[in-house]
Amino acid sequence: MDRKAVVLEYLKRCNSYAEASIARKRERGEEQQTDSWKSYIEFNDHAIEEIKNGTLDHWFTPLPTTNMVDAKRMDVNEIEHAQRAGWLSGLLSPRPLIIASTQDEHGNKNLAPYTSVMAVSTGPPLLIASFSCNREGRYRDTLLNLRSTKKAILHLMPSNASMVDAIDETASPLPKEESEWNYAGFTPHELEPLLVNEAVAAIEVEYLEDRELPDAVARLAVLRVTGLWTTEQEIPPEGLDILCQHGHDRLTPSPSSWGQKVLKHYGSKI
């Protein structure tokens, strides 16, 4: 969790404690002794608002970049591959961590983590994901399985440290005949063997095609959404508490310290 989120959570808990103290004093008929607690809550509410709107950003380190006045250009063609990947991961983040579950034509199951999955259309519902190959030119088992069986389930995972350890296991390079299921400790759903019970939610997809990317070895796959697996009854208004990649090879909870809706894309005032 980021520094702002920690402080916000602390202040909110302080307010909850203060509100409980006020309630106890009222029950004992000590209404006149609640003024200090009320002032305490007002002070905390003011601090919370200033953290959310950025007024207190200078309290937190490292200091956020607020403008481009002193920015310098870096030519990506002069940066080595590993550093270039690190910069792109660090700048284009956070991105949801996805565990893709697939199987080959023989029923051998595979798990693999990805952060390149992106929604590009809602009508029809389409996702894209990029898949790299190893030094021998062999593409990831996920892509090979998609080409073969046309199906995958993409899982959103809960944000806790033990889950990060399990996800790390799914990234281990294994022989094709070995399954990451044996190392991650995940359990399959009773009705759908590709579904990971430990996930927060999942998106079922159908493989449509994969395309060559200009001057790249990675290929871009187009996936059509065919189903959603969730225990939610309504659309989550603030998203889900899931793991994201934020920075380079760093998994964190989804940022949730503050939020504000944008509505103009609907084309009318709401």
Q: How confident is the model at residue 62 (pLDDT cuts 50, 70, 90)?
A: low
Beta strands 98-103 and 118-122, pairing class = unpaired
Out of 2.60.40.420, 2.30.110.10, 2.40.110.10, 1.10.540.10, the CATH code matching 81-256 is 2.30.110.10
Query: What is the spatial distance between Cα 147 and Cα 139, in angstroms, rounded to a whole number?
Result: 11
Domain residue spans in the chain? 3-59, 81-256
H helix count then E strand count, the chain: 6, 10
Give me the phi and psi of 11, to 5 degrees please.
-65, -40
With left for phi above 0 and alpha for psi between -120 and 50, is residue 265 left, alpha or beta? Answer: alpha
Per residue in 110-154, pLDDT tens? 999 999 999 999 888 999 999 988 878 888 899 999 999 999 999
pTM: 0.71
One-letter identity of residue 58: H
Q: Which region among 91-105, 157-171, 248-262 has the lowest average model confidence (pLDDT)?
A: 248-262
Q: What is the DSSP string of 146-193?
A: HHHH-EEEEEE-B--HHHHHHHHHHTS---TTS-THHHH---B-SS-T
